[in-house]
Structure 1
């Protein structure tokens, strides 16, 4: 009884926490659960956003400081989304567009010059607004322009440890920039050159040199081909045989007189409305060369008459293609029989000296009817004027040489040519002098510039980016819904058969080799004309090397990959600032160069792929619907249907952006951590870098129905991917944004 009485007293004397143990334990349990849930949520949040919002280490290298300054002057799609939706290529980017030169261009009359214009027959821009917008792309971050500016920086750098060949290349470039010396010397250097050819009848001092002797001299020493064009290339009929053999190729010339094609008569003819201004420009050339006024008219008249006869024999590429006149193979002996007025073996031996050529060697003709008619015209003019003092054939060759040498002469000559070009309707703005000088330096010292560019390229980082992008690209293709398994398998087998790689230094000449190659070149500091004459000789040596060297030479001006066998070879010109740099945050490198790599790979390996996958068509339609929903077609009104080519290009660029972003995220998983610029998160910086190059020009731009910058808004439709939501619409009522 006593124990029972003491129990309540003990309970009353217990600590308070024991009395309320159960509710306290319950509270502690709930708190622990909340902490665990909070930790799980925090961990999930950090994992999900670590690539987007975590504090980043700023990149402070010199290259990054330049990049940061450039980004600060451009539109940010995340702070000015409405402005960005209205952005059109050429309106707010930073670089002057360049006249791009592909492999083979720069060689007058190279077929690629004409082929590029007709490579996509039937293309017509959808409306004049888009055409004008594209024509206005004079300030876009263009790959070719970026490369030219980078080469300019290299040529203007003060590196005291330069090799002899590098010093000569830089000396040539700086002599080209010295326009004051050109103005002071005037036409005198050219007139001295003409005297080496025996003078000419216009000046009253002509030694009546032999026609073929003069032609050989022009071809050998001055890369001038007045009556036909000459270059080196492969026979497309042998490409399937995997041969490396190249042939001398002979084509019709780029005549100085303007001509047009008459579709009714199926003949070319001189443009009558331009004959008077052409006559005036020719007279001005003769006046600047010191020709007496009494002689000018007769010589110009004979020159125009001869030019008109040759023009009738020429024909455009599309006509020759239909007639099967391209790549006609024959021996030099057979060519001599077809066109006897030209000493073909002698001229070709002089041009390709010291190579040994025989009359049994094959050449490829691209307009045999013109070559045969040209021979008859020359024979007629030789017979008609060989006893006279007028020498019209010699004058024709001298004026052809004048146009070859004009880049190294005073501004009066280039101004005359430009004024006549404006009369013909060419309104293109003249390129700055530095750009002209970079291109001229590349013509003669291309191997030196390739060496310098290769030295400055972060090859390890470039190779890593290429491999990561290509690996992600292959994995991404597996995710698509293909029409049938067989097509899917064939596509993947094709993709896996290729190996992507950088054009490495092993394929590029080293400094000692270059010094030996250019050992006989002497560069004058203040005589660009004499330097230019040597350049023409160097150009000829490069042409001769192409004929015998089975390897594919690195093209310094290339900015897109090429296929060499089963290798996808990426030129080093794709991996230069501001597109790529070893010290850049990887977000920048993948956002710019990574996107371009992916886009180029798809265009190179998978043409016309839209019909093979349901995903491609569905995604292309989704992106386009998103565009119409947000922007109301940007003034397109009721236009809502896309052609198959447009739908494919739209999917392709969106897919390329996805691949580049996924490759970057994979890179972060493999190697966590990345620096940044201006405090931007990783994804923000990636998309900002993409926005700087999305207006890049390629052969497929006409098929892109909207500015690629808009693809950022489609990417950001995915939850939590972008740092901020892009909310902007040109329509009063915006439908919900779908994920593509």
Structure 2
């Protein structure tokens, strides 16, 4: 063991203290000396005795000091040795005697760790598999029809990406509900909301109790099955009926459309949402506009790149026809007239769908964010009473024909108007094809509140169209529906349960470590480097909370008009749609961005980097956890998110990205080759960037944790694990299927522990593969 400067100083001190003293030893006098002494005068003799006594005392003092010096040096050496051994034990002993965390959250975390594979006991077999498309299929890039209906025709996997939405209602409507393909973070948050809604806590006000009542009525499938189709048929009659049931008041087309938009959030012929104009956003303008987009069509369509038009999928027309027949039969339509109504519905749907186009085509044609006044829109698409419909959808805002709107496919809107006029003038108007079209769209809006026969029909169609997604649990649908209506209530509940101080602390530490990481990068373009650094240093990271916390009385007043019925989910769901309409109206007038309760990743908004409260929920984060666990899990996820948000194209600028990724990959290939793994391939630029991002995120999180320990040296532990081992073991719980960039990650992220510990003396033990020899020495990444 090499000597430290302190130990060397101690040795020098000991050596100098143990040198022989000069010849001042006390000797017994000889006889002759005694005689001479007797002959001396008494005064001189007395002086001699005093001198000798002083000399003896002085020698005793020196001996005592020498013994004290030896004792002090031995004590100091002992303390140094103890501290050194304690540090070595902290690094090498996997079962260090740390202060245990005994909170309920830690007990649960300990149970989870005990049931998980230990990366330090199975260092190679545990990590040796990849995250790829052969094991996990990609998420759908398209939108689901707003109401979260499983099996809807437009919920199929597609490569299409739609214009970015900034508004709350449409974002919430478009969230996916796939059980196995939702992020673990999202599943964790939904489970947390479920626990809140199912808690027996009665301290909340009436708004909280209404939210819980709505959730319980959603779970009450027995009452929903008993009600059957009657609530929907009663609603159709209140809207004037339709020819399918044999009772139709021949209500005006635009009147029916306005009612569907205002009271039931149903948009059969076009979509409405609220958002900013990106051309103005770059100049700091926060104004929001009504955005008009092509609709989510019920009929399955495909894009024909040759004709550059959409068309119905021939192979899916038969199952789609069967599903429409089933719906009308469930709604009590006479068997003799079902085919007539289904035929006209499919014909009308096919004609309207022709002008619908995917995003890439509309981008190439400059069809997004096309600005015009409502008056101008009316002249181009006269079939729709635009001012009347928009006033209904955004009641009570005082819209005028001079207000501007943004179009995302004007050719479709013009085409749709022509088709509607054409069908209005047809002789078979008595069959009400336009109303059938609108009411079948309304049916899909209300399907979550209807009995299982409808959802089963939709699911069968989805399977026939090739969708292999599993069935989403009922509770998850109910949590999402409750959040859509009572988001303010649940945001308040999460805010009360969030450890704001601890969350803010980890946010600041992670962001500080991220900025330190930036200084290590070597950039190919210094101008880009300076712009990035300027941007990063201008950002203010913070927890994303509401600007003003609502008091209980204010929440109760906000939901005072909502009447929740315990055994009638259909009527509760109708009120939910009304809440959506009010939220949409509020979005158009407000300037601030309200927190998105279901968000689990940071949002860059102006000069703020916002971290939603949904990130800081158990079991991913808990204020009673050891900080090693919090930084190993949520700290890593935050660092990875920051790198993705702020450095999306770092692979083209940072030379170190390539070097680090190839180094990590070399470690992986060595283990894979020794394990008999095949299929070795080189990394693409996207894969290199993702490997670098996740490896850097692990380093950032650990650096942030060390910074936390400097400010607060004490930390607890779980299962007797040393702090660094707990940090890395917690990180290993994040599997690759919880990562939105998993398709770009060529290896299991937890393998990064093996690379990290290969040459680092921070790890509690060296991760070596049993019975597998290294072919060559690997460098530190």
Question: What is the TM-score when the length of structure 1 is the normalising length?
Answer: 0.88
Contact map agreement 2:90 2:764 (CA 8 A) in 1: no
Higher mean alpha-carbon deviation, 314-323 vs 356-365, is at: 314-323
Note the 1:331-480 alignment, pairs <5 A.
331-385=373-427, 388-480=429-521
Give the stretch that moved more between structures: 97-106 or 72-81: 97-106
- Closer, same or farther: CA 367–480 of 1 in aligned 2, 3 Å: closer
Q: Is the 8 A contact 1:258 1:271 kept in 2?
A: yes
Mapped partners of 1:230, 1:391: distance in 2: 24
| 1:650 has 2:688 as partner | no
State how far apart, in whole Å, the 2-side matches of 1:511 and 1:400 are: 37
Q: Report if the CA contact (8 A) 2:373-2:405 is conserved.
A: yes
Match of 2:251 among 185, 209, 212: 209
1:113-145 CA distances to partner (integer Å, 9 max, x unpaired)?
99994569xxxxxxxxxxxxxxx9939971111
Distance 1:218 1:3, change over 3 A: closer
Counterpart CA distance in 1 for 2:266 and 2:182 is 35
5 Å-filtered alignment, 1:75-474, equals: 75-86=117-128, 106=146, 117-118=159-160, 138=180, 142-385=184-427, 388-474=429-515
Structure 1: gaps of 5 or more residues: 8-24, 121-135
Match of 1:620 in 2: 661
Does structure 1 residue 603 correspond to structure 2 residue 644? yes
What is the CA–CA distance in structure 2 between the aligned matches of 1:141 and 1:202, rounded to whole Å?
43
Tell me the distance in 2 between the aligned counterparts of 1:194 and 1:574. 42
507-516 vs 191-200, which deviates more? 507-516
Q: Secondary structure at the match of 1:230?
A: strand
Contact 1:98–1:145, Cα closer than 8 Å, also in 2: no
> What is the match of residue 42 of structure 1?
82
CA distance in 2 between partners of 1:166 and 1:485 (Å): 54
**Equivalent in 618, 626, 634 of residue 593 of structure 1:** 634
Instruction: Give per-residue Cα distances to partners, 1:201-242, cap 9 Å, x unaligned.
Output: 011111111111100010000001111111111111112111
Deviations 1:387-408 (A, max 9, x none): 7421111111111111110010
Distance in 1 of aligned mates of 2:489 and 2:209 = 10
Preserved CA contact (<8 Å) 2:620 2:630:
yes
DSSP-derived class of the 2:471 partner: coil
> Residues 33-62 of structure 1, C-alpha deviation per residue, up to 9 Å, x if partnerless?
787555434323434665875521211212
Determine the C-alpha separation between the residues in 1 that align with 2:535 and 2:770. Answer: 42
Partner SS, residue 290 of structure 2: strand
Q: Which residue of 1 aligns with 2:56?
A: none
Do structure 1's residue 701 and structure 2's residue 742 form an aligned pair?
A: yes
CA contact (8 A) 1:268 1:314 kept: yes
CA 1:483–1:257 in structure 2 vs 1: closer, same or farther (change >3 Å)? closer
Q: Are the structure 2 counterparts of residues 725 and 466 from structure 1 closer, same or farther at C-alpha, using a change threshold of 3 Å?
A: same
Matched, 1:67 2:109: yes
> Highest Rg: 1 or 2?
2
Contact 1:457 1:575 in 2 (8 A): yes
CA distance in 2, matches of 1:581, 1:100: 32
Give 1:460 shift.
Answer: 0.4
After superposition, give the CA deviation of every residue in 1:40-85 in whole Å (9 maximum; x if it has no partner). Answer: 3432343466587552121121211221122221111012223312
**Aligned counterpart, 2:583:** 542
Question: Root-mean-square deviation (CA), in Å?
Answer: 3.3
Normalised to the residue count of structure 2, the TM-score between the two structures is: 0.84
Number of the residue aligned with 1:57: 99
Preserved CA contact (<8 Å) 1:579 1:593? yes
Matching residue of 2:767: 726
Relative to structure 1, is the Cα distance of residues 408 and 51 closer, same or farther in structure 2, using a 3 angstrom cutoff? Answer: farther
Question: Which of 755, 771, 777 is the aligned partner of 1:714?
Answer: 755
Over residues 287-338 of structure 1, what are the superposed CA-to-partner deviations in whole Å (9 max), with x where a residue is unaligned? 1111111111111111111111111121222111111111111100000000
Task: For 1:675 and 1:322, locate their aligned partners in 2 and report how far apart those are by CA, in whole Å.
Answer: 57
Q: SS of the counterpart of 1:82?
A: coil
Q: Conserved in 2, the CA contact under 8 Å of 1:178 and 1:526? A: yes
2: distance between equivalents of 1:306 and 1:634?
Answer: 60
Q: For residues 118 and 508 of structure 1, what CA distance do their matches in structure 2 show?
A: 39
Q: Give the unaligned 5+ runs of structure 2.
A: 1-27, 34-64, 163-177
